[in-house]
Amino acid sequence: MHFVRERGGRIVKEDSLQDRVLARLYGSAVGRICLKPLVSPAVSGLLGAFLSSGVSRALIGPFVRSHKIRLEDFEKREFHSYNDFFTRRLAPGARRVCEEPEAFVSPCDSRLSVYKIDDESAFSIKHTGYTVQSLLRSRKLADRFAGGYAWVFRLCVEDYHRYIFVDGGVAAGTVRIPGVLHTVNPVANDKFPIYKENTREYSLLSSDHFGTILQMEVGAMMVGKIQNRHVRGDRVYRGQEKGNFAFGGSTVILMTSQGAVDPDKDILVNSMRGIETKVKLGERVGTSADA
């Protein structure tokens, strides 16, 4: 069970069947033993192969009804597999990317929490401590974000699973760090440092308005692929699609350096209270500190 807040709206307690099953698995020693095969990339790969097959189309209708997916928000076409449906594209105009130069925007539809990175390049998500060095496996790079913010955008299975560049600029090459695939549900973070154990990819963006931004995509349980499409040295624009996740929940983490971006107050207050904030792709979530 965890809490989520709509922008300017009420707090909602989320306690789905999936949440309860994961709480049982991660909350007991026996459950954590059963998890070992489930978090392996091999198992996710096998499930991914099935979900990319034509047989999996039978799952689309029940999923749409169960999660109340608004199909009118997406391109109208025939889907050849469940993964084809899962990576569907938005219809033109379904999301608006804020173009105000000082606006720092969300890269995806998600539940957002923001954490201050201290002078030692460390931050804490609930009761689990992280260092930027452990996430990136680079002390030199970690030092660049000391005193800044870590922005954790958690995607649920019903969310749109494509993500964008949050500003124009020049993108560096992608670094891949292999690992396991825990769920990114908050219950898992209470037991495992999931963001430094899970498979992840990151790249740097020399942005036009916010200095250097690090964007990391984190795979999760039953996510077979992180599919990034840019190459080193690309000039990109705000709102340009950066990539997508295959089936499952997943996370995008942004890191901004000290004095570059101020999070919107409601998001910062919610995060301090342990409440996630629901945001949409392209929505403003902060402003340039110079604004």
Other beta carbons within 10 angstroms of residue 160's beta carbon come to 22
Report how far residue 120's alpha carbon sits from residue 89's, in angstroms, rounded to the nearest whole number.
Answer: 40
Buried b / exposed e over 252-272, threshold 16 CB at 10 Å, is bbbbbbbebbbbbeebbebbe
Q: Residues 44, 56, 81, 109: which is the catalytic one? A: 109
Number of H helices, E strands in the chain: 10, 19
Which burial class, exposed, middle or buried, applies to 224 when counting CB atoms under 10 A from its CB (0-12, 13-18, 19+)? buried
Host H or E run for residue 24:
helix 17-26
The answer to whether residue 250 is catalytic is yes
The active-site residue out of 56, 113, 250, 288 is 250
Please identify every residue annotated as catalytic: 109, 250
